[in-house]
């Protein structure tokens, strides 16, 4: 599974059904779950802090245009970014609610050599909020409870994968706010140029969720975006996903 993930960036496992305990145990083979300690309002969330419950049931998604409906890489506003993210489908709508992925390894490989050399050692400034190169239809991300909105971190624009060493463009939109040593105007121009390149159709995968599918994606090598979904009106359009975001490296690599 890891070899497939590192080679393809995104993998889907067809399952016969996983309990919450199964999902958490499996995720811990891949890394360390990032606990969801804010907004724990029901017994499920309190009992399983590793899991974020994503749903459109009894939730006005039209009024609450927030969350993952913008191009980003998970946890890029933190010093330690996310490794893998797992999405396990409990309920899936007949239409809508897909997840889009951008292959940042392939996008980097297909840049002109001169451009690669130009950006090789650039550091991008990241902070939680709306990126300076946000797309017009991007939603507003929700900050973690108690997060310091003024905190800024630096990540390489061209980042080597922490396990494979493969080079990729990293989180050029989502939390990007500038480039170290460059004016905001110049940084926005460069990052916009890279966004336009990366978001060409040849680098994009559209994934449809199906019940009992476990979707895993490699955050250092991808960006992703949720397709907005409306509030559920009946069983045919209900969505419920168990999401686990990880940090660190897989335990099996060390054996």
- Using one digit for the tens of pLDDT, what is the confidence trace for 189-231? 999 999 999 999 999 999 999 999 999 999 999 999 998 887 7
* Predicted confidence band of residue 142 (pLDDT cuts 50, 70, 90): confident
Question: What's the CA gap between 149 and 162, in Å, rounded?
Answer: 27
Q: Specify the pLDDT at position 123.
A: 98
Task: Say if residue 64's pLDDT is above 80.
Answer: no
Question: What's the CA gap between 174 and 223, in Å, rounded?
Answer: 9
For the segment 99-122, the average pLDDT, to the nearest whole number, is 97
Three-state secondary-structure class, residue 97:
coil
* Predicted confidence band of residue 43 (pLDDT cuts 50, 70, 90): low
Q: What is the largest CA-CA distance in the chain?
A: 55
Q: Specify the pLDDT at position 255.
A: 41
Angle at 120 between CA 116 and CA 126, to 5 degrees: 115
Question: What's the CA gap between 13 and 19, in Å, rounded?
Answer: 15
* Predicted confidence band of residue 253 (pLDDT cuts 50, 70, 90): low
- On the 0-12 / 13-18 / 19+ scale of CB atoms within 10 A, 190 is buried
pTM to 2 decimals? 0.91
Task: Say if residue 66's pLDDT is above 90.
Answer: no
Contact yes or no for 172/198 (Cβ under 8 A) = yes
Task: Say if residue 252's pLDDT is above 90.
Answer: no
* Residue found under tokens 């994009």: 204
- Token pair recorded at residue 52: 């974020």
Q: Specify the pLDDT at position 211.
A: 97
Choose between 82 and 40: higher pLDDT.
82
Kindly list the distances between the CA atom of residue 31 and the CA atoms of 6, 206, 248, in Å, as whole numbers in the listed order.
14, 25, 5
Question: What's the CA gap between 30 and 249, in Å, rounded?
Answer: 7
Task: Say if residue 54's pLDDT is above 70.
Answer: yes
Contact yes or no for 227/139 (Cβ under 8 A) = no
Question: What's the CA gap between 252 and 5, in Å, rounded?
Answer: 14
Q: How much is the mean pLDDT over the chain?
A: 91
Q: Specify the pLDDT at position 173.
A: 94
| Nearby residues of 169 by Cβ (< 8 Å), 6 or more positions away | 104, 107, 108, 157, 158, 159, 194, 198
Question: What's the CA gap between 4 and 25, in Å, rounded?
Answer: 20
């Amino acid at each position: 599974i890891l070899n497939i993930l590192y080679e393809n960036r995104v993998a889907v496992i067809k399952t016969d059904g996983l309990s919450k305990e199964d999902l958490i145990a499996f995720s811990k083979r891949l890394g360390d779950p990032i606990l969801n300690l804010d907004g724990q309002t029901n017994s499920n969330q309190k009992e399983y802090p590793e899991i974020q419950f994503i749903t459109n049931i009894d939730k006005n998604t039209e009024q609450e245009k927030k969350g993952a409906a913008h191009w980003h890489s998970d946890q890029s506003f933190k010093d330690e970014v996310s490794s893998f993210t797992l999405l396990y489908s409990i309920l899936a709508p007949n239409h809508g609610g897909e997840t889009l992925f951008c292959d940042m390894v392939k996008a980097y490989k297909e840049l002109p050599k001169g451009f690669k050399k130009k950006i090789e050692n650039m550091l991008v400034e990241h902070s939680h909020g709306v990126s300076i190169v946000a797309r017009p239809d991007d939603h507003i991300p929700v900050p973690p409870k108690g997060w310091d909105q003024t905190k800024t971190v630096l990540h390489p624009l061209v980042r080597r994968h922490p396990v494979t060493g493969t080079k990729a463009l990293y989180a050029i939109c989502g939390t990007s706010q500038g480039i170290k040593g460059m004016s905001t105007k110049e940084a926005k121009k460069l990052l916009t140029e890279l966004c336009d390149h990366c978001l060409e159709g040849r680098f994009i995968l559209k994934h449809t969720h199906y019940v009992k599918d476990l979707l895993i994606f490699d955050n250092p090598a991808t960006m992703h975006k949720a397709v907005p979904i409306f509030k559920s009106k009946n069983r045919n359009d209900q969505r419920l996903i168990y999401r686990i975001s990880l940090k660190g490296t897989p335990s099996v690599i060390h054996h």
